[in-house]
Amino acid sequence: MKRIKLLLIAGLLASCQSGKKADTALKSRSPKTVYYTEPFIKRGNDLTIAFVGDVIIHQRIRVREEKTHEGFQSIWAPVQNYLDRAHITYANLEGPVAPEYGGPTGFPMFNFPEEIIPALKNSGFDIVSTANNHALDRQAKGIRKTIENLKKYELGFAGTITDQSQITQGFETWWTLMPIPNSNRSIAWIACTEMTNGNPDKEDLVLYCFKHREKIKALITQLKENPEIGAIIITPHWGEEDKFEIEPHVKAWGRTMLELGATAIVGSHPHVVQPIEQITTKDNRKTVIAYSMGNFVSNQITIQNKTSMILYLKFKNGADQKWLELVDVKYLPLFTTRTIVKDDTSVFRINPVWQGDKVPAEVKQILKTTLGEERQLKSKQEVEDFLK
């Protein structure tokens, strides 16, 4: 089972070398806590990152878990191996995890049970975005409690902070560092959201994709110039719900961030898949933007809302490289089934499209029209070969 060392660190960007030496160096140069899990088993010059879309614990999903205690992991068990075998695995956590404040609730003001965090962590997830339109569903105290719970289980996050003063004092930043194996460099991870559903951000705890455009530009520039950063990944929560088309302002801002220095942009919020574009920047870097991943876990029941993917980005990690080189982009198409059983609860399962016997023809048409077939992994063997 793969595992990456995770740094949740602010202030100075310290050395991220593996082993005790890195631990000592980081602690001597930064006041922040450094979280480590087990080192990679997989070695070599390739680095693979897996991305999924929105994790939304709607009421029917929560009720099923409360009645059966089978674990949220059962929902994505059919694709577990395809997540865990990537070096780094990401999801958008679309809601607070602060059940102390009003208990777990569903739409429209989410509050997830704490169990979702260890379920993700134990399934191989390394980092989540906490910047989305539901980030303030339990106000500032919900953001702080969510961060506390994520730290409790050592699951990385980006997009929110606990206190604006922590930024100015150098105890927090708007990014999270993921160390690159066999290297003294790290991946810088930035997450932002277009809005928070009208919930006021009175304490400035959320990074906004468009409102904070100048701040994000400065962050990207600062990180690009830092010799200890080998890639910049941005996960924006943006766009229009249930639309396959990309809004012009989204496309323009995405291109700008890539030209400024971002390596990859992987979006969410529309709850449907949107196109993937590979772009060579003016400074000759190979980059990629996936505008929307669709839902990963949810109770949205239309066919388009149940169609999603695991996006894989493969990078060449050469010792003499400043930047990771993007060498391949693939996606594994997914479809979620919902079966109502005798106790009136719903069993949810996420399956590869090729595996499900209840996959409507419309799913394949959505995938073909929106994502194309060139990057699609169409069988278990193709996925196995890609993840070797």
Report helix, strand or coil for 386.
Answer: helix
Which helix (DSSP H) or strand (DSSP E) does residue 324 occupy? none
pLDDT of residue 343: 79
The separation between the first and the last C-alpha atoms of the chain, rounded to the nearest angstrom, is 13
Q: Are 158 and 189 in contact (CB under 8 A)?
A: yes
pLDDT of residue 356: 67
Sign, CA dihedral 114-116-122-125, equals: negative
In a domain, 15, yes or no: no
Report helix, strand or coil for 244.
Answer: coil
Tokens standing for residue 371: 């994502």
pLDDT of residue 273: 99
pTM of the predicted model, to two decimals? Answer: 0.90
What gap in Å lies between CA 190 and CA 253, rounded to an integer?
Answer: 15
In a domain, 12, yes or no: no
Domain hosting 372: range is 20-386
Residues 6+ apart with CB under 8 A from 130: 93, 143, 146, 147, 150, 157, 158, 159, 160, 191
Amino acid making up residue 53: G
> Please, where are the H alpha helices in 193-308?
213-225, 248-260
In a domain, 2, yes or no: no
In a domain, 3, yes or no: no
What gap in Å lies between CA 382 and CA 46, rounded to an integer?
Answer: 17
pLDDT of residue 9: 40
In a domain, 162, yes or no: yes
pLDDT of residue 319: 61
What gap in Å lies between CA 310 and CA 371, rounded to an integer?
Answer: 12
In a domain, 8, yes or no: no
Q: Are 184 and 322 in contact (CB under 8 A)?
A: no
**How many other CB atoms are found less than 10 A from the CB of residue 24?**
11
The domain tally of the chain equals 1
Q: Nearest CA to 311 among 164, 157, 92, 161?
A: 92
Tens-digit pLDDT profile for residues 135-180: 999 999 999 999 999 999 999 999 999 999 989 888 889 999 999 8
DSSP state of 306: T
pLDDT of residue 320: 66
In a domain, 309, yes or no: yes
CATH number for the domain harbouring residue 88:
3.60.21
Low-confidence ranges of the chain (pLDDT < 70): 1-44, 318-320, 356
In a domain, 7, yes or no: no
Tokens standing for residue 169: 């004092």
Burial of 346 (C-beta count, 10 Å sphere; 0-12/13-18/19+): middle
pLDDT of residue 357: 73
pLDDT of residue 182: 77
Burial of 361 (C-beta count, 10 Å sphere; 0-12/13-18/19+): exposed
